[in-house]
Chains A and B, each alone.
Chain A
Amino acid sequence: MTRRIPLSTLSKKSTARRNLLGGASVIAIAGLLAACGTAPEDDGDTGADGGDNGSDQVPCMVSDAGGFDDQSFNELSHDGLVAGSEAHGLDPRTVESENDTVYESNIESLVNQGCTLIFSVGFLLQPATETMAANYEDVNFAIIDDDQIVADNVKPLIYDTAQAAFLAGYAAAAYTESDRVATWGGMNIPTVTIFMDGFAEGVEYFNEENGAEVEVLGWDVEAQDGSFTGGFEANPEARSMAEQFISQGADVLMPVGGPIFQPAAEAVLDAQGDNPHLAMIGVDTDLTESAPEYADIFLTSVLKGLAVSVEDTITEAVNGEFNNEPFVGTLENDGVGIADFYDFASDLPDTIDADIDELRDAIIDGSLVVESPSSPSI
């Protein structure tokens, strides 16, 4: 895992996405060690082109400026692309965007490579995707985290993560001993604050149900404003924000914004000596599994089913069922959810699993409505 640490201001991007030089030396050394191996028998034309399983689909993906190693939605979407392609024996193509101004060129270059289904990752690609979808009507597009485009060949993939974050907020409120929990974001943008809204509402619901007074630091639902690190980099600012909330007495922390969880996790590890009850909530993916070095501190994670939805969209295309119906990830269709409590289950009330299940059902059947201004409008 590479951390995003801002280099000098001269660098265009905070880190190189693929360490060419590092990779080169590793491969060179490996090559030297193994150079005595035997040559493969078959000298046929089995290149890296993958097999032909009857489908002529070429699934492709354009990242936003975060790149595919952002430990966040770009990476998760990419995982889905890889998994979906493997499942159907397809050869995917990807391009990373170095900044916000190259999306059209990147999409077009994929079209020129014969892509049949192009995923645009992130709302920032909306204008470019809309333009290109109009220019290339015989190519299908899917755009993640945006529902603004209405076109026959564009499928929006959006996620009502507020629903899942609500459950996490409820669990956090049940867990806290200091009656203080905190959430903060990378930037004040809807795809981030939707988590924070759901979280805060979950805490509020717990308070109402149990007559508790758990306080949420870092986010004000009414004002739609709160604490942000100003970017999606694992930098010292992200760490000091975590330290600030710890010193204010919060014992459950939910940083929303890809890699910014790393410095926060470091801060939590350092502070656990004083307060062993400190815990964090992960977002996007189950961080207990994907970040094992921090597994001990994650109460749970709010899951955003990016990989699954990308994979499903590929399957639809392979089966000739591609459509422009928006996919909205909800608790109901498992497009969002929360992860297991693992070892933390023992620190929570015995009824927690039942409570969570009950809440989930209530949200699914509509008797409980989680409202966020950032929730999908469809």
Chain B
Amino acid sequence: MRLELRGITKRFGTFTANDSIDLTVEAGEIHCLLGENGAGKSTLMNVLYGLYRAEEGEILLDGKTRHFASPGDAMRSGIGMVHQHFMLIPVFTVAENVLLGHERRLGGIQGARKKVKELSERFGFDIDPDALVQDLAVGVQQRVEIIKALSLDAGVLVFDEPTAVLTPQETDELMEVMRQLRDEGTAIVFITHKLREVRAVADKITVIRLGKIVGTAESTASSAELASLMVGRSVSLNVEKGDAELTDNALAVKNLTVLDKVGHKVVNDVSFSVRGGEVLCVAGVQGNGQTELTETLIGLLKAENGTISLNGTELTGKSVREVLDAGVGFVPEDRKVDGLVAEFTVAENIMLDRYIGAPFVKGATIDFATRDEFAEQAKKDYDVRAQSIHSPASSLSGGNQQKVVLARELGRELDLFVASQPTRGLDVGSIEFVHKQIILTRDSGIPVIVVSTELDEVVGLADRIAVMYRGGIVGIVPADTDREDLGIMMAGELPKHLQPAAEEVEA
């Protein structure tokens, strides 16, 4: 099926999210839509999917103009979408999920089961139609999403940031599936901001910036070229840093075990240490205990077993307040949920973890003058693009929000800095800035822990890399470890030839 968008313009109030965008995707083509967060990719796809109505422009399928009032319309016309966040019901079986909303078209549950079997055989998915979705691995769940879209004979398939939750190996497999679909004549729109993936799979690349198409490229284009197209200026993709100069400051974690509510070990006997002046990156596919590890470090979760000590001071069992007061700075992985109060102003967010005593509180009253002065300085130092320090944090872009969090956490005397997914969802420019700040912190002699699921980031920032799998640490390896090997470790195995190296680094 051939998809053509002509002059699509979508405005929200005075803000133009899409500015007369033309895009053609041929049948049997993988078309990458590349752009930073907030560039307008998702808006464009939501227009295509019938969620938004464009002010101008038209959508053509195989040369015929179509109007979609709802996703239902879009689906019926042959447009399928695989969302970044799965739209599956965990307690339903695969077949039930596929059936949901299309009961008649698929001919009941038996029809859906047959369809799942048929599609799963065709693509070699090996999916049991009667398995509960909640029992399936993340990668397999994504395949269920794909099957759901294909079960409606989608001629155009949109993948919206599909690799965020996958291991490198799963990502490779997904790309294989996309190629297979392409070869069968499906038109594929692949939305991403990961340059490596784009270059691996795309037939054509369209780059969007600030709601406009700023260029097209072939898959042979270099990452640097694509990045500069995306950002609008040349950017450095590599983190520049000198050799680690270790200090005596150190965090030591020994035999740490954390249980979840039902008693499963979410962090399993983890031991490591970080010295001042180095960055330890914790790598791994999302959901393998990294979140729980960091939350235990700052006292949000209780350790079942093991010890945490910072410069000889015991932190195990301390409250969050006490841990923060011991000089731990923390950037939570989900800044919108955990790092900021969206409705608060920038200035209010700046004092979020310093609400008692100096410098911002005198007696029981907030010292607005001091706080605002500090916030103004932070705004300047961290280049926070906000109208003023009294703008609500929700009005800031993701990158600027993260700068506010960094300004707050790095704004006090620290003995340890923990950053969880510090660049998730940020634009390239902000990523550069955040990385620079992390390295500056490292160079000031503070132990730094960075948790990231982005391999590029891990490799760029780390002095050492700890890979987590199912709550345990598979191994701690040097930063120059081969990517292939890191991928294997993220699946839970430590390659033989790395074992001595891992031990050495750990010691």
**Chains A and B share a contact (CB less than 8 Å):** no
